[in-house]
């Protein structure tokens, strides 16, 4: 599968719930996981269906050599604590396979509870799981994709730095905010 990049309009659309398991869905899951595995080198940690131009509420994630796909994920509870990562002086910089070379800090809930489904025995089976720190950040980023939200929306709305990786530079440099807003068709819509 091809990973779409900004300014592709699908990245701004809301994905629809998956209601049944069929061969189209199981084949898509395998292809999504394979696409993530190929893109991983080493920056791709997760990949949402909208990022491959499919408006289904699901994403694949790979962590500690474990690949899995969460279907119809929904945050049911979250901590009041928001952070940029465990070290305020050195925040996590989020990136995105659909925005290559663009990075920035994003305030996220430190801990979340997520209800989601997986495919088991050709059926959708509901699970609930707690995530914290970096894992919670990844899940929130991917759920944002399912709602047409890009991480740079937070950067632009809250006047946070956005960085760009240029091949001839040794360090990340400040990105052109107007160019990012234009490429992402940013509107003041982040909650």
Quote the distance between the C-alpha of residue 38 and its chain's center. Answer: 17
Confirm whether 188 is a catalytic residue. no
Q: Which of 142, 169, 171, 187 is catalytic?
A: 142
Long-range pairs of 19-28 with CB within 8 A, sequence gap ≥ 24:
19/124, 20/124, 21/119, 21/122, 21/123, 21/124, 25/56, 25/119, 26/119, 26/122, 28/54, 28/56
Handedness of CA 4, 111, 19, 34 (dihedral sign): positive
Q: Give catalytic residues, as residue numbers.
A: 142
């Amino acid at each position: 599968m091809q990973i779409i990049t900004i300014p592709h309009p699908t990245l701004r659309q809301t994905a629809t719930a998956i209601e049944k398991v069929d061969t189209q869905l199981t084949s898509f899951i395998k292809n999504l996981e394979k696409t993530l595995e190929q893109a991983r080198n080493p920056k791709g940690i997760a990949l949402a269906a909208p990022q491959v131009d499919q408006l289904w509420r699901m994403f694949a994630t790979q962590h500690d050599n474990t690949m899995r796909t969460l279907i119809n994920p929904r945050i049911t509870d979250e901590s009041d604590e928001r952070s940029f990562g465990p070290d305020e002086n050195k925040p996590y910089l989020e990136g995105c396979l659909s925005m290559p070379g663009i990075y920035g800090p994003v305030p996220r809930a430190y801990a979340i509870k997520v209800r989601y489904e997986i495919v088991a025995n050709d059926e959708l089976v509901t699970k609930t799981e707690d995530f914290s720190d970096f894992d919670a950040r990844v899940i929130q980023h991917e759920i944002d994709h399912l709602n047409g939200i890009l991480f740079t929306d937070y950067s632009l709305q809250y006047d946070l730095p956005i960085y760009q990786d240029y091949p001839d530079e040794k360090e990340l440099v400040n990105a052109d905010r107007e160019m990012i807003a234009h490429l992402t068709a940013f509107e003041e819509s982040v909650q």
